[in-house]
Amino acid sequence: MDGCGGEEEMEDRRELEKEEKKEKDVVLMWGYLPGVSPDRLPLLHPVPVRRPESANKDAWRDVSGGGCGFAMAISESGKLITWGSTDDMGQSYLTSGKHEEVPEAFPLPAEADIVKAAAGWAHCVAVTGNGEVFTWGWKECVPTGKVIADQRAVGNLEDEKQCGSLNEQVSPNSGTIANYEGKSSEESTKRRRLSSVKQGHESLSSGDDALATLPCIVALGAGVKITSVAAGGRHTLALSDVGQVWGWGYGGEGQLGLGSRIRMVSSPHLVPCIESASYGKDKASGYNKGITSSEGQIYRVTGSFVKAIACGGRHSAAVTDSGAVLTFGWGLYGQCGNGTTEDELSPKCVSSLLGIRILGIAAGLWHTLCNSIDGGVYAFGGNQFGQLGTGLDQAETIPKLLTASSLESTNAKIVSCGARHNAIVTDDNRVFSWGWNKYGQLGLGDSIDRSLPSQVPIDNLRVVNVSCGWWHTLAHAQSPA
Q: Give the CATH number of the domain where residue 447 resides.
A: 2.130.10.30
394 contacts 347 by C-beta, under 8 angstroms: no
Report d(CA 31, CA 15) in Å as an integer.
35
For residue 449, being part of any structural domain is answered with: yes
Nearest to 237 by CA among 338, 301, 144, 315: 315
pLDDT for position 5: 55
Nearest to 224 by CA among 157, 176, 266: 176
For residue 10, being part of any structural domain is answered with: no
The helix/strand/coil state of 121 is coil
Angstrom distances, CA of residue 165 to CA of 189, 295, 390: 16, 41, 51
Nearest to 474 by CA among 156, 93, 173, 66: 66
pLDDT for position 72: 97
For residue 11, being part of any structural domain is answered with: no
pLDDT for position 11: 57
Please give the full DSSP string across 246-295, using - where no structure is assigned. Answer: EEEEE-TTSTT-SSS--SEEEEEEEE-SS-GGG-STTSPPSB-S-EE-TT
Total number of domains in the chain: 1
Report d(CA 210, CA 233) in Å as an integer.
13
Burial of 47 (0-12, 13-18, 19+ CB in 10 A): middle
Report d(CA 259, CA 270) in Å as an integer.
12
Report d(CA 352, CA 38) in Å as an integer.
48
For residue 12, being part of any structural domain is answered with: no
Q: Which residues contact 248 (CB under 8 A, 6 or more apart)?
A: 143, 218, 235, 236, 256, 265, 266, 267, 268, 269
For residue 9, being part of any structural domain is answered with: no
pLDDT for position 456: 98
In the chain, which residues have pLDDT < 50? 1-4, 16, 145-210, 276-280, 282-299
For residue 18, being part of any structural domain is answered with: no
Q: Which domain, by its residues, includes 419?
A: 23-201+208-478
Burial of 155 (0-12, 13-18, 19+ CB in 10 A): middle
418 contacts 441 by C-beta, under 8 angstroms: yes
Report d(CA 437, CA 252) in Å as an integer.
30
For residue 100, being part of any structural domain is answered with: yes
For residue 63, being part of any structural domain is answered with: yes
Q: Convert 175-191 to b/e letters by CB count within 10 Å (16 or more is b).
A: bbbebbbbebeeebbbb
